[in-house]
């Protein structure tokens, strides 16, 4: 009972009374609480280390622990978050497994090339891929999708493609097999006959041949006439082909080594193009009935023995040619008209004194015009072109009087000064060919050069002529005799593509391609004047035309740099050099026969300039 009396009531425990008989003894007898039992952990340290390794394995570059299959194949459980930070919080194994970007997390993955290409092409074609279960979105306002093909399901375009299921390659193969099956079914439906009769091993059966009217002998008169005409035309064509083949074979043999440097050869039976002309002047006849080619009454020709002066500036430009101008020539004795041949396949005549406009255009060549030459009276002129034809023109009417060709490329053409019924041509066949203007046939051939003939110049009162060639030789011929009387060829000589006769007739100058002009005597001996050499211009590679003043005091020439150069004939000193033409060489330069200081030049810039 005494022990029970020691326990106090609930009120007493809440507020102990200090007057309790055992309170002081209880405080004095209190002992410290000591737990002598050993500490035992609640978890296994090995399991904790393994769990920690599992959590950090996703962020490590090397795998340090063997993950159980259950953990690698276990589904991700928990709330789905759209941002990378939320995914990392919900699944600690994903923390640090990829690079966080604005649009999500970029994770490293290993995939075979075949699987990647299949997914890539599938997505580009159908806009679906692995893990995409929704239809591709169509932009607002887009036209409706095309209807499905027969035999194809409506959802074929949005079929889910997985790594082990159907992909673009299997669908392509399935479509191919389907087409093959349809082809086989169609072939099986056709009737090819019996194998015994129509097979590849069936016996041959000759078909009945239908006989023609000619075989039956039932031709009408009209059919017989048509048959005879056809056979006759076929025979004539075969004969013409055999004849033309011989001519073309000869052309091929002649130009065997130089064909790559020449224009195309003439075809079988080819003729010159149809010549046309157009008058561009104000009137063809004046009030007295005089033609436009007639010189003015105020022009009085002389022998050229008048004082001359060097020109200073350009006073007029003739424009009209669309390409470079290769050659120019003034009307004989008067110089009131200017003839020009151009690379635009045309020849033009210009007025020099009055309006200075183009008077007439002559079109009769299909290639660039290489050379031109007036007759003695100026009523006719010749033009040669790279189309291998020479045209004889009527100056006044513009009609083509005759066309000539020897199937070679003509490089120069000259009338015989004493008789306008003959002219000579220097061609690519290493010959000087003499034509008759009336019959159009070849009268004589001067054949002694080894390469193409570039120029022909009549000397010694027009009894002889001098020819120059690419073979660096200079030959002197008697008119009408095909044997050279003088043969000039020295090791130091160069080709001279342009030659001009001095007004006195005692000398001629040649444009040498070593940038100098050589002078030869034009009488009996035809010697080189070694002390009379003109230098200072650059003419190498160009056939720049030479010219003399009417009294022979000055020599002028163009050069390859577009300049116009003047020399003194006696001292060979260069007096003046003018900038004449741009974008090409100065090809032509001639002095007016009546005007004391008028010079005409032409160049590959398409301009003709008048200097004074």
- What would the pLDDT profile of 363-393 be if each residue is shown by its tens digit? 999 999 999 999 999 999 999 999 999 999 9
pLDDT in tens, 290-308: 999 999 988 988 888 889 9
Close Cβ partners of 331 (under 8 Å, ≥ 6 residues apart): 293, 295, 337, 338, 339, 374, 378
376 in Cβ contact with 419 (< 8 Å):
no
Phi-psi region of 42 (alpha: psi -120 to 50; beta: other; left: phi over 0): alpha
Tell me which residues of the chain have a pLDDT lower than 70: 1-43, 57-63, 67-106, 108-109, 126-169, 207-208, 242-245
Query: What DSSP character marks residue 438?
Result: T
Question: For 394-479, where are the alpha helices, taking DSSP H only?
Answer: none
CA atoms within 13 A on the CB side of 103: 2
Q: Helices 168-189 and 113-126, interaxial angle, to 10°? A: 70
- Would you report the helix, strand and coil content of the chain in percent, each value rounded to 5? 20, 30, 50
**Separation between Cα atoms, residue 536 and residue 516, nearest integer Å:** 7
497 in Cβ contact with 488 (< 8 Å):
no
pTM comes to: 0.62
Sign of torsion over alpha carbons 55, 58, 63, 69: positive
Structure tokens at 308: 């001359």
Strands (E), 13-65: none
Close Cβ partners of 39 (under 8 Å, ≥ 6 residues apart): none
Helix (H) or strand (E) holding 277: strand 276-279
Close Cβ partners of 535 (under 8 Å, ≥ 6 residues apart): 515, 516, 517, 574
Residue 142: burial class (beta carbons within 10 Å; 0-12, 13-18, 19+): exposed
Q: Domains in the chain, start-ordered, CATH in brackets?
A: 276-611 (2.130.10.10)
Model pLDDT, residue 1: 46
Give the residue carrying structure tokens 């020295």. 490
């Amino acid at each position: 009972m005494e022990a029970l009396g020691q326990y106090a009531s609930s009120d007493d425990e809440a507020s102990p009374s200090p007057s309790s008989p055992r309170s002081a003894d209880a405080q004095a007898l209190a002992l410290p609480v000591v737990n002598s039992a050993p500490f035992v952990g609640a978890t296994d340290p090995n399991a904790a280390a393994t769990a920690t390794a599992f959590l950090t394995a996703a962020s490590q570059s090397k795998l340090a622990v063997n993950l159980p299959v259950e953990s690698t194949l276990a589904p991700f459980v928990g709330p789905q978050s759209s941002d990378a930070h939320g995914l990392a919080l919900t699944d600690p194994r994903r923390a640090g497994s990829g690079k966080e970007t604005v649009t999500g997390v970029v994770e490293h993955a290993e995939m075979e090339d075949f699987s990647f290409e299949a997914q890539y092409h599938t997505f580009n074609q159908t806009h679906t891929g692995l893990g995409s279960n929704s239809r591709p979105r169509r932009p607002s306002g887009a036209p409706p999708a095309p209807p499905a093909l027969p035999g194809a399901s409506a959802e074929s375009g949005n079929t889910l493609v997985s790594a082990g299921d159907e992909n673009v390659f299997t669908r392509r193969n399935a479509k191919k097999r389907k087409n093959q099956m349809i082809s086989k079914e169609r072939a099986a439906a056709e009737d090819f006959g019996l194998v015994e009769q129509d097979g590849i091993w069936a016996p041959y059966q000759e078909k009945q041949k239908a006989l023609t009217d000619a075989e039956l002998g039932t031709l009408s008169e009209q059919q017989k006439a048509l048959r005879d005409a056809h056979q006759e035309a076929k025979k004539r064509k075969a004969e013409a082909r055999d004849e033309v083949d011989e001519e073309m074979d000869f052309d091929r043999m002649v130009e065997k080594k130089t064909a790559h440097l020449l224009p195309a050869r003439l075809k079988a039976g080819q003729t010159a193009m149809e010549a046309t002309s157009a008058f561009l002047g104000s009137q063809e006849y004046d009030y007295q009935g005089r033609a436009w080619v007639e010189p003015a009454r105020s022009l009085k020709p002389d022998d050229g023995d008048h004082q001359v002066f060097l020109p200073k500036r350009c006073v007029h430009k003739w424009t009209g040619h669309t390409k470079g101008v290769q050659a120019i020539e003034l009307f004989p004795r008067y110089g009131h008209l200017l003839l020009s041949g151009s690379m635009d396949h045309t020849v033009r005549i210009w007025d020099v004194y009055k309006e200075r406009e183009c008077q007439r255009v002559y079109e009769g060549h299909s290639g660039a015009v290489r050379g031109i030459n007036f007759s003695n009276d100026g009523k006719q002129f010749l033009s040669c072109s790279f189309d291998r034809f020479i045209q004889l023109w009527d100056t006044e009417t513009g009609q083509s009087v005759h066309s000539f060709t020897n199937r070679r490329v003509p490089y120069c053409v000259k009338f015989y000064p004493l008789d306008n019924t003959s002219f000579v041509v220097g061609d690519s066949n290493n010959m000087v060919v003499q034509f008759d203007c009336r019959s159009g046939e070849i009268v004589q051939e001067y054949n002694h050069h080894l390469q193409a003939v570039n120029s022909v110049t009549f000397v010694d009162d027009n009894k002889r002529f001098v020819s120059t060639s690419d073979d660096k030789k200079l030959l002197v011929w008697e008119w009408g005799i095909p044997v050279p009387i003088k043969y000039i060829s020295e090791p130091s000589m160069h080709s001279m593509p342009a030659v001009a006769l001095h007004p006195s007739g005692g000398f001629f100058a040649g444009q040498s391609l070593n940038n100098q002009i050589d002078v030869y005597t034009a009488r009996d001996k035809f010697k080189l004047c070694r002390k009379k050499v003109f230098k200072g211009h650059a003419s190498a590679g160009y056939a720049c035309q030479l010219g003399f003043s009417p009294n022979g005091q000055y020599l002028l020439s163009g050069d390859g740099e577009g300049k116009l150069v003047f020399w003194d004939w006696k001292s060979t000193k260069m007096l003046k050099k003018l900038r004449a033409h741009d974008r090409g060489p100065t090809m032509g330069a001639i002095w007016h026969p009546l005007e004391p200081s008028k010079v005409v030049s032409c160049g590959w810039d398409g301009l003709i300039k008048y200097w004074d």
